[in-house]
Amino acid sequence: MLEDLNNIKNDIKDYIEVRLDLIKLHTAENISRIVSNAASYAIIGYLLFFILLFISLAGGYYFASLLQSNELGFLCIAGIYLLLMIIFLIYRKQLIERPVIKAIVKLFFPKADKDENQA
């Protein structure tokens, strides 16, 4: 009887250790996925910033040549950005909040996303 209790105690102890190792493994997997995604998005954002910068400069000089004024050319580009910002502010929930929430849920619960796709 005492030996059975010791076996059960050891089994429970082993089970808890295995579960803790599994939790650590899942946590490490999630953290590594988040860090790699963040690094990828940072690099993509950095490159897109410079692409947008040079396209804006080219557009500013293009409009400047059409309007015969550097100030008006770059003011047109600023107006385009102002219009984009207003559109973004109006539709920010649909464009940013919902996709970000879905992406975070997908990162932390990849099995739930697979279950939804199968249903």
DSSP for residue 85: H
- Cβ atoms of residues 79 and 72 within 8 Å: no
What value does the CA radius of gyration of the chain take, rounded to a whole number of Å? 27
Range of 110's domain?
2-118
Strands (E), the chain: none
- Low-confidence stretches of the chain (pLDDT beneath 50): none
How far is it, in rounded angstroms, from Cα 92 to Cα 41? 19
Give the predicted TM-score (pTM) of the model.
0.63
- What pLDDT does 59 receive? 96
Question: How many structural domains compose the chain?
Answer: 1
SS3 state at 91: coil
- Residue 12: in which H helix or E strand, if any? helix 2-67
pLDDT for 116: 56
